[in-house]
Amino acid sequence: MPASTLQNSPNAVLNKSVAERYRHLPCPQNKVKATYIWIDGTGENVRAKTRTLDFIPTKSEELPIWNYDGSSTYQAEGANSDTYLKPVALYSDPFTEGNNKLVLCDTYKHNKQPTATNKRNMCFQAMEAAKDTIPWFGIEQEYTLLDMDMRPLGWPKTGFPGPQGPYYCGVGANKVYARDIVEGHYNACLYAGINISGTNAEVMPSQWEYQVGPCVGIDAADQLWVSRYILHRVAEDFGVIVTFDPKPVEGDWNGAGAHTNFSTQAMRNDGGIAEIEKAIEKLAKNHRKHIAAYDPRGGKDNERRLTGRHETSSIHDFTAGVANRRASVRIPRGCAEEKKGYLEDRRPSSNCDPYSVCEALVRTCILNE
């Protein structure tokens, strides 16, 4: 990591060996730290706070509903600020270890109605309606690492690195930066129980990707949100910033997406290519609806990314093809040859809400809405 980044980051200059002295103090057997995680009013950022429990939870339903100051997270007015946290998913905590837990939560307003950024509520309803088809999702999360000056990590302070080409899946100090963060995140996700299936360096230097899935139904979106929280926490220890901006550097540089792989049981069965083609026909007829659902600003962020260049389709047109990374939807070559499998929707932005993406796919392709 460049020395300037270390000097500018309050977290990176803290003495980690001193912190270790306290991190491994034995805790009473009947005490558990539960870190409640939720999506704030931006629809992109996560927040978290921790409470002590007097028991070891085994499922989210056992945890108490909690509240927080929604006026400080863009989700409520100061005069009526209490906002509710309802636990929905439970994971092992890779930061405090032991019996401690990460708790993903839904957010509800004072009147017990979902907050504007609680997209999970509607997604869950869609998944319940479609559960007999056993929908699978795999999400490819791209992201970029920044230094404290908000410049891609390892890039020269003036000018730019060499053109794209040697960085994708690269190896070597002049090709990839901060692999320690990537490997730390990978291990932390595995410890937590996230079904992280892989990782790789991406096309732009300081840009990386990891994949979550395959997961059934709502689990894919739940796990992606928790994996994002874990990524921010790991990078925090190194004094590095994570951005999910879909076009973090303007110009001749790749953007960042969250390509979403999707299938039903019928698609995965022999001859499932016919079902994949039917789904693609439905997606073609609902292109604008999906573009609106695929980034937090209703397509405005994807306007910067989906230009038809840098391995993207045009935001204005729907296209599909086998092994075509410039299409809206790609059928992997192996699926075309085996005549079954899944499709890859390449339109979701890296900062998408996966609940909105997965819900849109289910409502269009399965529920015919």
Comparing 364 with 11, the larger pLDDT belongs to 364
Residue-level pLDDT at 21: 87
* Cβ neighbours around 28 below 10 Å, total: 8
Q: How far is Cα 330 from Cα 342, in angstroms, rounded to an integer?
A: 9
SS3 201: strand
- Report pTM: 0.96
Q: How far is Cα 160 from Cα 249, in angstroms, rounded to an integer?
A: 10
Q: How far is Cα 227 from Cα 291, in angstroms, rounded to an integer?
A: 24
Phi-psi region of 239 (alpha: psi -120 to 50; beta: other; left: phi over 0): left
Cis check for the bond before 214: say yes or no (omega within 30 of 0).
yes
Q: How far is Cα 212 from Cα 214, in angstroms, rounded to an integer?
A: 7
Model pLDDT for residues 261-283, shown as the tens digit of each residue: 999 999 999 999 999 999 999 99
Q: How far is Cα 183 from Cα 179, in angstroms, rounded to an integer?
A: 6
Q: Is the pLDDT of residue 72 over 50?
A: yes
Q: Is the pLDDT of residue 343 over 80?
A: yes
Q: Which fold has domain 126-365?
A: Creatine Kinase; Chain A, domain 2 (3.30.590)
Query: Which secondary structure element, helix H or strand E, spans residue 213, and what is its range?
Result: strand 207-216
What would the mean pLDDT of 31-43 be, rounded to a whole number? 97
Q: Is the pLDDT of residue 256 over 90?
A: yes
Q: Is the pLDDT of residue 176 over 80?
A: yes
Q: Which pLDDT band holds residue 335 (cuts at 50, 70, 90)? A: very high
Domain boundaries, the chain: 31-118, 126-365
| CATH number given to 31-118 | 3.10.20.70
What would the mean pLDDT of 50-58 be, rounded to a whole number? 97
Helix axes 120-130, 354-365, angle to 10 degrees: 30
- Which token pair is 223? 């796990």
pLDDT above 70 covers a percentage of the chain that reads 98
Q: Is the pLDDT of residue 4 over 80?
A: no
CB 154 within 8 A of CB 178: yes
Residue-level pLDDT at 157: 87
Question: ∠ at Cα 194 (189, 196), nearest 5°?
Answer: 75
Q: Is the pLDDT of residue 1 over 50?
A: no
What would the mean pLDDT of 328-345 be, rounded to a whole number? 97
